[in-house]
Amino acid sequence: MKYTSVIFVCLFLFCTTGIVPAQSYKNAQHHQCLKCHSNQSYSFMNTVKNKVEKRLMNPYFIIDTVGLTHGVHKQFDCTDCHSSEYGTYPHQATLKLQPLSTCLDCHGGDASFATYHFERIDEEFKKSVHYKVYGDNFTCTKCHSQHTYKATARTSSDVLEIVDYSNKMCLSCHNDMKKYKMVSGHDNPKLIQVHEWLPNQELHFAHVRCIECHTEVADSLMVSHNILPKEKALKKCVECHSANSRLKASLYKYQNLQKRSENGTLNTVLANESYIIGSHQIPLLKLASILIFFIALCGILIHGIFRIIKKK
């Protein structure tokens, strides 16, 4: 009866809130890890002093349990990716030197993940400036947190949410002095100064992803992973602000967002929170505006001719 009640509560919380309580994780070991790694501090038995001590947790090792609960890897145990030897504490120092599992260790060569083209993503990533400069030291997890990653672009119909989530990945390093210097070895440039050429910076940063200008569009991939060096970053406004906008091959590529960019209906334009000038052209209105322009021009010419005749 006791266990039936626990299961019922877990199912009720999951169905109503989407939150999985700690007790519902696959085993107690997962919860045991989070007892320390979800808090600002942790306690342990110091066998040398024979007393319990409390220490601050390294902020980089604190897991966002809410993010973990809603992430794509929420059903896994910690030791599915980390060594099973982490199950004992104090952790062995040599464990930190062991290489972690990579994304392709699980996602590569698996037919169930074929639709996501992980091998193709890996090929594109290895062309990117990140990999060329830092090699194997720059992995997927530098951008995609294995603990909290969500497939927002595939599941959300809100363009601004997709843009915000994507840009935060870039800014988590490019706007963080410590993390950027740890990876690159030098101070990070100030983004506002680097983008001085870009008009309405704040508007652009809020409505388009960094990768729209900093990647090479790949037709076979939902998201391009070939990050270009800054010298090759797109700086031609017309590439986005035109009827043949490159955004249709990148930001608006997702099936659940096609309604925002196809056909150019008036309702689509008015409802679009991420409206891009020039990219949402309505053929009928475009034709009407041309006709109105020529009618107005003809009216001015006719009026001018009559004024000249009248003066004579």
Token output for 310: 């009248």
Same domain assignment for residues 270 and 133: yes
Task: Write out pLDDT tens, residues 232-254.
Answer: 999 988 888 887 788 888 887 76
Residues 68 and 15 in one domain: yes
Let me know whether 184 and 220 are in one domain.
yes
- 138: pLDDT strictly greater than 80: yes
Q: What are phi and psi of 53, to 5 degrees?
A: -120, 160
Q: Is residue 254 part of a domain?
A: yes
Residues 121 and 165 in one domain: yes
Please give the pLDDT value at position 296.
Answer: 92
Q: Which domain holds residue 205?
A: 98-279
- Report if residue 20 sits inside a domain: yes
> Is residue 284 a part of any domain in this protein?
no
pLDDT at 229: 92
Q: Are 217 and 249 in contact (CB under 8 A)?
A: yes
Structure tokens at 150: 């969500």
- Judgement on whether residues 107 and 249 belong to the same structural domain of the protein: yes
In a domain, 293, yes or no: no
Structure tokens belonging to residue 205 = 């940063």
Q: pTM of the predicted model, to two decimals?
A: 0.71
Amino acid, res. 63: I
**Is the separation of the CB atoms in 211 and 129 below 8 Å?**
no
φ, ψ for residue 45, nearest 5 deg: -90, 115
Which residue from 18, 117, 130, 34 is spatially nearest to 78, judged by alpha carbons? Answer: 34
Give me the mean pLDDT over the 206-227 stretch: 88
307 is a domain residue:
no
Q: Which residues contact 228 (CB under 8 A, 6 or more apart)?
A: 128, 129, 214, 215, 216
209, 251 in Cβ contact below 8 A? Answer: yes
- Rounded to the nearest 5 percent, the helix, strand and coil shares of the chain are 55, 5, 40
**How buried is residue 54: exposed, middle or buried, by Cβ count under 10 Å (0-12/13-18/19+)?**
exposed
Cα–Cα dist 157/255, whole Å: 9
pLDDT digits (tens, 9 = 90+) for 106-127: 888 888 888 888 999 999 999 9
Residue 298 domain-assigned (yes or no): no
pLDDT in tens, 56-100: 999 989 999 999 999 999 888 888 888 889 888 888 989 988 888
**Domain total for the chain?**
2
Domain limit, last residue, from 79, 114, 142: 79
